[in-house]
Structures are given as C-alpha cells and as structure tokens.
Amino acid sequence: MAQIYPFQAWRYAPDRVPIAQVVTQPYDKITPEMQKRYYQANPSNLVRIILGERRPEDCQENVYSRAAASFKDWRSTGILLQDSEPSIYRYLQNFTVPGSDKQIERQGFIALGRLENYSTKVVFPHELTHSGPKADRLELLRATKTHFEQIFMLYADSGEIEAQLRCATSPDIEVIDEYGVLHRVWKVSDPARITALQTQMREQKLIIADGHHRYETALAYRDERRTGDGRSATAPYNSMMMTFFNMNSPGLVILPTHRVVHGLASFSADQLLAGAQKFFEVKEVDSALDAPGATALMRETGSDSTALIVATADRVFLMHSPKTIGSSRLAGLSLRQQSLDVVQLHKCLLEGVLNISEEAVRKLQNISYYRDAPEALTKVRSGDGQAAFLMNPVRMDQIRDIAFAGEVLPQKSTDFYPKLLSGLTIYAME
C-alpha cells in the first residue's frame, strides 16, 4: 500500500530571490563547473546545502555543518518561507527531447511518500547503489534533518491521477533551467482533492526512477531515529519528499547512455570485429554515419531485438541479433536481463571481446558515459577514444518487469529526462 501525504513545504520567497538563481539540477548531476556557476548565481543558491564546496575542516565546521547553518539562516531571514497549510504540489515539465525537435509535456506531483522497506513489495528499486554516496547523503540528513530534493517515483494508471491534478490557475513557481526545460509548480491545498489522490495512490506499487541512494539513505536515517525514540509510527522521518509520475504516460522519456572505451593497451577495429562476430550478426556500414543516422538505424533494427552501433576512428559497425541468449556468457542472469542491450554490450563486447573487467567498469578505468551520441562519436573520431558504443534506450516495460521481479539493471542503464529541479519545495522534519 503506497501512502502519500500533503506537507507544508519551505519555498524560496519570490520577492527576496529570483527562483532561477537558486534552483539546481540534482546533486549527483552537478559537475564542478556547474557547482561554480551555481555559487556565483546567488548567495542563497541551494548548491551551498546539497553540494557545498569542500574546504579545510576543523572540529567546529565542515561541509555538513555549513549546510545546516545556511538552511537555518535562510529560514530565519525570510529567504525561505513555509507554506501555511498542508499541500501537494502539481509539477509540470515542458521540454524538447534531446537530439530531436519533439516537444513533450510531463505531469506529476510532489508529496510526501511513506518510506517502505523493499521487502514489503511497495517500493521497488531498478538499479544497484554504492556505499559512498549514501554515507555522504546520510551525513547531510543528520546535520539538517531536511529533505531538499525529491526522488523520482513511478506509478501506473490510465491517466486518472493526472486528470485529478489539473489546475486552471497560474502556477506558483515558473522557471526555465539551463537545459531549456520549463518547470511549473501549483500548490494544491483542497482537502477533498488531496484525499481523493491519496485513495487513488493507495493500491499503487512504486518504482524508483532516480534517487536510489537518497531513498536508501532515508531508510537508514529513519531506522536511526526510530531506535532513539521508540519507533514512532507517525514521526516525520517515516516519510520523504517524492515526485510521482505515471509510467504509462507518453510524457515519460528515457534516454540511452552511450559508452566510449579508451586507454586499452591493445586495440584494433579488426580484433573487435572478429570477436563481436561470435556474439552478434555484424554489418559494416558507412564510416561517415552521423548520430541521427545511427539512431534511426538502431531504432529500425532493434525494434524486437538488440541493436548496437559501434564506431572506431574510421569504421562503423551495426551489431544485432545476439547469439548469446541463454549461453554461459550470460549465466546467472534472467532472460529479462539477458534481453537488455546494455547487458549484451557489457557481457559480450566489453568483457568478452575487449577484456574490460566489471571492476574496471566500476572504477571508470577504461570507459566513459555520454548522453549525446554526437559527443560520443566525436570523441572517437578525434582520437580521444578507441570505440564508441551507441544503444537504444531501455524501454519502460523492461524496467517495470525487471523491477517487479526483484531484479536490477546494470549501472547507467537509464536516463530519465529531464531531471527534477532541486529547490522547488523543501521538507524540513524539524
């Protein structure tokens, strides 16, 4: 049973700070260059809390204590104001799909969601997590007792919940981010509408799209706090801020994450071709194939099977129709996982042909990741990489089936676009 709740969000006061100067991309998408730009944009930019600059530390101050101090100061000086009544927040994103001219609208809502252990079969992960990011987020949560960012949750219906959210009024927040995405937020405080939404969500099973580390951090924090206060069932730490989207909506866009291999001591296109032919049907295509052409070819060829484009400095191959389903190369993986292009790529080509180990992949020793196919191709054709591997995106039905089966996808399998802006709403537990 998925339980959601309204809350009294803290929000930036529009008469004190321009919203465009203080919101950010999610903390794990902020590059050092972006962090610097956010710092320069406004003294109250949320980056100072969610990804503060590292400085020499002493026993009195560190990045987490500075975050807590900033949040306390912004509340006390009126930079942040708390809404007067419990609300949910309708959230609309309008955007152009990267690499196309297709205009999309995606509608969801921000609310508190009750934290559930995975074993209850209410919330399902779809990818693995690492300990480092969770330790960092836990220290921030301990210091601030606040959720500054929503996690991206998926539910499934035929559009009834989206219809329930429609508003005829002007948005309370409207901002365009650095990627040209228009974000709009409406505060919904009508108790009858909130109750109806809670009822509609009650039978939902939820999949985490983005935010696995933050979700598991919130579970750890909840368990810490429960130990200290007698395991209160109604305590604020039992919930966290979530944004919910319908996984059946045409507005849900998943982009592929392409790979570029570099730094291999011994590499040749002929060696790659010979090895790949053991695993795929391989066809050499025009060496001048551009990114739109590659995307179209993969989409057409991969409509019912795996299709990869592999480009070296002066050659391009289409690899399709894998020969390895059910083979020892994919031992231990379900047929659901074996059918994924990203699994075929890693197990057969990266490990089986190029001898790049799972550990090397985890440590980013010989592999880089790119959202943009043109950038990946340029890296290889300019000599900054040895081979680019382009993929079709993972389909939502594949994510759903794997998650509900209790399995996970490899790292960097999904790129839900666009991301949720951080700083639109804030959930303070104290």
Stretch 391-399: mean pLDDT: 94
| 311 and 325 belong to one structural domain | yes
How far apart (Å, rounded) are the C-alpha atoms in residues 166 and 163?
6
118 within some domain: yes
Residue 418: asked if its preceding bond is cis (omega within 30°), the reply is yes
Least confident of 60-64, 134-138, 147-151, 389-393: 60-64
Scanning 233-350, the segments in alpha helix (DSSP H) are 269-276, 291-301, 335-338, 341-344
Whether the pLDDT of residue 326 is over 80: the answer is no
| 114 and 190 belong to one structural domain | yes
> Greater confidence, 221 or 324?
221
63 within some domain: yes
The greatest distance separating any two alpha carbons of the chain, rounded to the nearest whole angstrom, comes to 67
Count structural domains, the chain: 2
Q: What is the pLDDT of residues 256-282, one digit of tens each?
A: 999 999 999 989 999 999 999 999 999
| 327 and 360 belong to one structural domain | yes
| 305 and 352 belong to one structural domain | yes
Q: What percent of the chain has pLDDT over 90?
A: 82
- Determine how many CB atoms are found less than 10 A away from the CB of residue 73: 12
Whether the pLDDT of residue 7 is over 70: the answer is yes
Query: Which of 396, 369, 371 is closest to 385 using CA atoms?
Result: 369
| 424 and 374 belong to one structural domain | no
How far apart (Å, rounded) are the C-alpha atoms in residues 380 and 373?
11
Q: What is the pLDDT of residues 189-241, one digit of tens each?
A: 999 999 999 999 999 999 999 999 999 999 999 999 988 665 677 899 999 99
Q: Helices 131-144 and 212-229 sit at what angle, rounded to 10 degrees?
A: 50
Stretch 235-252: mean pLDDT: 96
| 9 and 148 belong to one structural domain | yes
Query: Which of 380, 368, 394 is closest to 290 using CA atoms?
Result: 380
> Who's near 167: CB < 8 A, 6+ residues apart?
90, 186, 188
Whether the pLDDT of residue 56 is over 80: the answer is no
| 210 and 331 belong to one structural domain | no
| 103 and 158 belong to one structural domain | yes
| 28 and 140 belong to one structural domain | yes
Domain residue limits at 82: 4-253+417-428
**What pLDDT sits at residue 59?**
62
Taking each continuous run of H as one helix and of E as one strand, the counts in the chain are 14, 21
401 within some domain: no
Pairing mode, strands 151-155 and 182-188:
unpaired
190 within some domain: yes
Query: Which of 299, 331, 313 is closest to 267 using CA atoms?
Result: 313
**What pLDDT sits at residue 316?**
96
**What pLDDT sits at residue 228?**
67
399 within some domain: no
| 185 and 80 belong to one structural domain | yes
Whether the pLDDT of residue 324 is over 80: the answer is no
24 within some domain: yes
Confidence of residue 132 (pLDDT cuts 50, 70, 90): confident
404 within some domain: no
**What pLDDT sits at residue 170?**
94
| 199 and 240 belong to one structural domain | yes
Cα 402 to Cα 46, 256, 337: the distances in Å are: 35, 17, 7
398 within some domain: no
| 278 and 249 belong to one structural domain | no
